[in-house]
Amino acid sequence: MGNQTVVSEFLLLGLPIRPDQQDLFYTLFLAMYVITVLGNLLILVLICLDPHLHTPMYLFLSNLSFSDLCFSSVTMPKLLQDMQSHISSIPYAGCLTQMYFFLLFADLESFLLVAMAYDRYVAICFPLRYTTILSPRLCLSLLVLSWVLTICVSLLHTLLMARLSFCADNVIPHFFCDMSALLKLACSDIQINETVIFILGGLVIIVPFLLIFSSYARIVSSILKVRSARGIRKAFSTCGSHLSVVSLFYGTIIGLYLCPSSNNSTVKETVMAVMYTVVTPMLNPFIYSLRNQDIKGALRRVFSKWTVSFFSNQ
């Protein structure tokens, strides 16, 4: 108790990068962040402007793009600022705020991937009843439920973190205010926090993952009943983008947050965090657009409309 003090700020150690490589990695991460922002904004604009994309699938995709955009913006600007200024301090309130929004958009992406998996399941297994099952009311309900659950879960974690006391050591061996890193610095009992993390981790990560797995198990079962090779290829191409995103997201996050902190080295935690905070949000727009004829068609239509409008005003 004698070593406890009121912590007004934390120091972020950042990425394990040598000083002579700082400029190189700063340029790399800046380029990746710009690509992330522009890519996700492009998908949002296309879905808003093109009526052909006003379907349940693209409603969920627009929310996923918004989530990716915000998710990356929670950590990347601060990381870039620290790499440029070499001042890596963050206020106590700012640290908790960053943790809250980080958890919010990470959990939101998990629930949105479930909604998109259900969309693909209905589209492939019940194509004639697709518009009836996925009604606007159901889609809106799924989105509202996803947002409400993630807001509540993130707020609970943040409030439990705010009740902890921190010792004189305020150095976080990470590039953002990660929940597990903050728990290691706490002087007070963290048993309640760890219990809540374990329980809610099952709700936010394991349950959605099992729902996605169940959806695709039924999709595969339905596809195997199709005797047409063309139909099988079309079905798999429809799910390919979503499966790629699911693999990227869950492949990095399950092993990190559902395993005890002592089993993960600092370097491993940092590398995995970079994967799902920087790489995944950047790749998602490419995954959903490169092989997606609807997105390509929408881009051509919007571009043609703007071109005609521009030259007609000349």
**CA 242 vs CA 114, 117, 273, 312: distances in Å:** 10, 7, 21, 40
pLDDT at residue 77, rounded to an integer: 93
CB 212 within 8 A of CB 117: yes
What are the tokens at 283? 């790749």
Q: d(Cα 298, Cα 305) in Å, to the nearest integer? A: 10
Instruction: State how beta strands 89-91 and 171-172 pair.
Output: unpaired
What are the tokens at 249? 């997201």
pLDDT at residue 272, rounded to an integer: 78
The SS3 call for residue 199 is helix
pLDDT at residue 69, rounded to an integer: 94
CB 14 within 8 A of CB 88: yes
Q: d(Cα 9, Cα 93) in Å, to the nearest integer? A: 8
pLDDT at residue 41, rounded to an integer: 94
Kindly state the helix (H) or strand (E) to which residue 96 belongs, with its residue range.
helix 92-125
CB 27 within 8 A of CB 275: no
Q: What residues of the chain score a pLDDT lower than 70?
A: 1-6, 226-238, 254-266, 290-291, 308-314
Q: Could you read off the pLDDT of 218-254 as tens digits, one per residue?
A: 888 887 776 666 666 666 666 777 777 888 788 777 6
